[in-house]
């Protein structure tokens, strides 16, 4: 297909931008006891027997088991569990290093329509999340995509500090962010080496647009554990908030180097690169996000579509928007997206 004329391409870019809303993702209030489905596949070229021998186990961040399953002969697994906001996905196969992923279920939002229907009909729709699993080389070391979990981070901390931290999280879960932030401020003052306290406090501050203080907190977190990705992700998120995209890229490149499978790290890096006009690199990040979890953030599809238009690929732009409508059938901007698809010839 011939390239779209420059004038039409620029008009299309402006049209796409009009309905883009920046979707920076912050840790939301935990919601214990939510029932959801988790699906995915083992990406290694295993035999049928190897696929069936894999154990996929879900725990909370303190190690309490929530469910387990074995993949089918083609490597696909599926679980239905009730769990908290943050879950850990572990996959084990004899002879291979254990693979571990963390999933923040509150980064996947119901559409407004879903919420309205839930109130009207009194039903709870089951949300589905996706996590593909890739084992490292047989007998090798665990791949870099398995960072320290909250369980690991808290294991060697002072029990009194852990207790105070858990109390602050309960305040956050109850919706009292101001009180929770105050508790965490006191905690890190008493225990200045308590890394996860800085992370949680920074997230709360960033979510409230207290960017300067959040930047200070995440800087201390990164200095405490420069080998861990969360501090760098926090710094990148705040710099994206402040529209200092070049600084954001510097932090987020370090984050994804430490944890390539960090969906939020890849998304935030893609967002920063997109705003710097580095479209090829941004497209690579957003593509990885969609491969890891197609329902992570609806904005991912829109950024991919915009980049495809800029690259003179209207078919690719249309495929991205069609993917968006397929993944989010109750999207409130469905009519507007369909109008854009018509302009793209679909």
Q: Is the pLDDT of residue 145 over 60?
A: no
- Name the band, by pLDDT with cuts 50, 70 and 90, for residue 43: confident
Domain ranges for the chain: 6-26+150-343, 34-130
Q: Is the pLDDT of residue 251 over 90?
A: yes
41-45, 56-60, 138-142, 327-331: the lowest-pLDDT one:
138-142
Task: Round to whole Å and give the CA distance between 37 and 264.
Answer: 20
| pLDDT, tens only, 20-32 | 433 333 333 333 4
What is the model's pLDDT at position 294? Answer: 86
Q: Are 135 and 93 contacting, i.e. CB atoms less than 8 angstroms apart? A: yes
Number of H helices, E strands in the chain: 15, 7
Mean pLDDT of 97-117: 53
Please tell me the pTM assigned to this model: 0.63
What is the model's pLDDT at position 139? Answer: 57
Q: Which CATH superfamily is domain 34-130 in?
A: Immunoglobulins (2.60.40.10)
Which pair of tokens denotes residue 141?
A: 């070391």
6-26+150-343 — its CATH code?
1.25.40.10
Is the fold of 6-26+150-343 the same as that of 34-130? no
Q: Is the pLDDT of residue 241 over 50?
A: yes
Own/partner contacts of 323-329, CB < 8 Å, gap of 24 or more, are: 323/290, 323/294, 324/298, 327/294, 327/295, 327/298, 327/301, 328/111, 328/295, 328/298
More confident residue, 227 or 14: 227
Q: Which of 309, 308, 312 is nearest to 3 (CA)?
A: 312
Q: Are 262 and 230 contacting, i.e. CB atoms less than 8 angstroms apart? A: no
């Amino acid at each position: 297909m011939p390239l779209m004329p420059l004038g039409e391409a620029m008009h299309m870019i402006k049209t796409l931008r009009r309905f883009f809303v920046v979707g920076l993702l912050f840790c939301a209030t935990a919601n214990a006891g939510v029932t959801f489905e988790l699906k995915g596949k083992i990406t290694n070229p295993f035999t049928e027997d190897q696929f069936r021998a894999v154990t996929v186990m879900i725990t909370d961040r303190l190690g309490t088991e929530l469910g387990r399953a074995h993949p089918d002969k083609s490597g696909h697994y599926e679980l239905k569990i009730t769990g908290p906001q943050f879950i850990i996905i572990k996959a084990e196969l004899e002879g291979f290093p254990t693979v571990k992923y963390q999933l923040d279920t509150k980064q996947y939002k119901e559409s407004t329509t879903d919420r309205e229907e839930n109130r009207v009909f009194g039903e709870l729709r089951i949300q589905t999340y996706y996590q593909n699993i890739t084992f490292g080389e047989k007998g090798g070391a665990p791949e870099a995509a398995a960072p320290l979990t909250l369980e690991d981070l808290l294991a060697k901390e002072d029990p009194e500090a852990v207790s105070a931290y858990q109390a602050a999280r309960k305040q956050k879960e109850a919706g009292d962010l101001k009180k929770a932030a105050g508790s965490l401020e006191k905690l890190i003052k008493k225990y200045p080496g308590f890394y996860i306290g800085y992370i949680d406090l920074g997230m709360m501050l960033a979510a409230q647009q207290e960017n300067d203080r959040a930047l200070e907190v995440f800087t201390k977190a990164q200095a405490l554990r420069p080998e861990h990705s969360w501090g760098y992700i926090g710094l990148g998120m705040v710099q994206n908030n402040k529209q200092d995209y070049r600084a954001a890229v510097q932090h987020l490149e370090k984050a994804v180097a430490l944890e390539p499978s960090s969906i939020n790290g890849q998304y935030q890096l893609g967002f920063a690169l997109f705003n710097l006009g580095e479209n090829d690199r941004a497209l690579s990040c957003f593509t990885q996000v969609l491969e890891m979890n197609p329902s992570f953030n609806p904005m991912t599809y829109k950024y991919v579509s915009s980049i495809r238009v800029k690259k003179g690929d209207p078919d690719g732009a249309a495929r991205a928007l069609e993917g968006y409508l397929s993944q989010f059938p109750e999207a409130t901007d469905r009519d507007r997206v369909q109008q854009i698809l018509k302009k793209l010839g679909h």
